[in-house]
A and B are shown apart, each in its own frame.
Chain A
Amino acid sequence: MTPASTVSGRVQRHKLVDRAYHWLMAAAMLILLVTAFLPILNIKFEWVGIHWVTGLVLTAIVLFHIIRACFFQNFWAMMIDSTDLKAPLAKPGKYDLAQKLYHLAISVLVLAAIATGLLMWRKVDTPFWQRDPYWLSTESWGLVYAIHGVAGMALVTMIIIHVYFALRPDEWHLTRSMLKGWITAKEYQDHHDPKRWQPKD
């Protein structure tokens, strides 16, 4: 822990830009799931336009996150390392093994949904082009739709689990850090190994 964080009693965990990314992504995901699944549950409305525009927003912010994680953040903080595997219950760095596994699963599902969603965009009339349902073969479209649908349903499972952990009292310091950006110095000492995560504030 740096002297600055000791003096303030707070340790910065998430910068404003990262919190904004998280909540923008949350809003986009909720809009995408609602517009995807309410019509399936027989609540009919004009959902296609909202869905693909929100999908484009999600694509843009995920690209922003990837660039930021690769070049402006500690990319390895979210990667599973040998210490995670040797001592999964030991005090972690910034993220513990469960959080890293969750992030990996969400990454796979969101990237699968985005990749297939971008392909499906070709079957929608947009200001840029007229729809072309024959752009891929029937079999290929089936595969694209299947991956998109399974990823969407799996994201429902993952979001329920995410909200559950955010609401657990023993995780409130992490939820607060995603709202306000900081954890207390005591929370840092109690929950993190200073050798594996040195905050820079």
Chain B
Amino acid sequence: MSLFRYASSIYGGNDTLIGANYGLLPWFALAGIAFAIAHAIFKAVAAPGRPG
């Protein structure tokens, strides 16, 4: 799935960039949640009690 959206030109030629692919929005949100879960597991298992 591309990060960007393209439109076909009615005159032919190359596709034109028209913006971001907002279909990826849930994946960006999931990336943040995945980071939080991974960090929480790391802190609980690999470095318990370590400040910061």
A192 to chain B, nearest CB (A): 10
Cβ contacts under 8 Å, B36 to chain A:
160-161, 164
Per-residue B-contact encoding for A138-174, CB less than 8 Å = 1, 0 else: 1101110110111011101111110010001011000
Residues of chain B in range 1-28 having any CB-CB distance to chain A below 8 Å: 3-5, 16-22, 24-25, 28
Q: How far is the CA of A191 from the CA of B29 in the complex (A)?
A: 30
21 A-B residue pairings within 8 Å (CB atoms): A40-B22, A41-B25, A139-B16, A139-B17, A142-B16, A145-B19, A146-B4, A146-B5, A146-B18, A146-B19, A150-B4, A152-B20, A153-B22, A156-B25, A157-B28, A157-B35, A161-B32, A161-B36, A164-B32, A164-B35, A170-B43
**B interface, size bucket:** 20 to 34
A41, A145, A152, A156: the one within 8 Å of B32 (CB): A156
On whether A160 and B32 interact (CB within 8 A), knowing A138-B16, A145-B20, A150-B20, the answer reads yes
A190 touches B20 (CB 8 A): no
Interface secondary structure of B, over-half rule: helix
Most buried by B among A150, A152, A158: A150
